[in-house]
Amino acid sequence: MKEYRIAVVGMGAVGREMVATLEKSSLPVSELLPLVRRNEGEPISFRGRTYKTVKVNKGVFKGVDIALFSAGEQASKELAPMAIEEGAVVIDNSNAFRMDPEIPLVVPEVNPLDAKKHKGLIANPNCSTIQMVVALKPLHDLYKIKRIVVSTYQAVSGTGYKAIDELNEQVSAYIAQEEIKNSVYPHQIAFNALPHIDVFLDNGYSKEEMKMHHETRKIIGDESIQVSATAVRIPVVRCHSEAVNIETEKPMPSVEEIKKILAEAPGVTVIDDVANDAYPLAADCQYKYGVFVGRIRKDYSIPNGLNMWVVADNLLKGAALNAVQIAELLAEKNWVSKDTGC
């Protein structure tokens, strides 16, 4: 079996999760190349070997088969074209290319065939969008979703290590009855909820909220779906939670039948036994693969309405795991080469 030389660009929270996820994956890796823009020489352990971070320079991607990018939007815009030119297939975790109509936006459980259309670059969707579409695609296929209303409850790790540190420092200050300081977020995050993720746009929505609107349509492949999102940051370290309400064109079956449909869907685990207080929790789902769904119930205020609660580890399925699954898909289907006639 062919082995692949894999580069990971960016050694932040998501980049390190990519390395850890790659280590557990089925992907045959001949060599790992951890790339950074600074802090060159840091040791990175991978499958019994120690690699050192290498500074990104022209020529560094020569011989690389797949490059997983998690270094931010600006770095992706600058470096992804260079990586592609030097022969690598890029899987990019930033927002740089997601809505480019020429670039596939892929969640393997939802639209795997789109990955075949790549011309050297595949975009990894936004974390909050990924977990939602994994849960909703099986229902859309059967009953055609026409409208989604979603409120997210997003962990601070989505902002990076500095946000995790800020939350921990604020909790310690609160307990010690000291002044609570903030720099990462515009307000205190400890014991609080901030309805503010990314920048606000002229329409009053945040960029994060509009990502969910646009990306959902592109991934599912249906521009008629209406999406209204409210994105909220909460003082949780890992795992995003979402309250999702959908309205479908076709009548849906009983809740028990919907639970069965979702339980059989790829990447979905149903935890729904309210009589025994069983439903997905961020504290329980962290470090776990997949998407967890519970609190499934009919919405009696509209025809063909349904509510559900969706939880996933934002650093795994919301980022690193999804990217690695795309890489595994490319290898399995022999879609790594850009010369496949796609």
Q: Active-site residue among 118, 140, 239, 240?
A: 240
Is residue 222 classed as helix, strand or coil in its secondary structure? coil
Which tokens is 75 given? Answer: 């770095």
What's 112's DSSP letter?
G
Alpha helices (runs of H) in the chain, residue ranges in sequence order? 13-24, 73-85, 127-143, 161-175, 207-220, 255-263, 282-285, 321-333
d(CA 47, CA 5): 14
DSSP 3-state assignment of 154? strand
Q: How many CB atoms lie within 10 A of CB 172?
A: 12
Among candidate residues 118, 127, 140, 285, the one labeled active-site is: 127
Q: What is the largest CA-CA distance in the chain?
A: 64
How is residue 130 annotated by DSSP? H
Of 288, 266, 333, the C-alpha closest to 27 is: 333
127 given a catalytic annotation: yes
Nearest partner of 135 among 238, 250, 216, judged by Cα:
216
**Annotated catalytic sites, by residue?**
127, 240
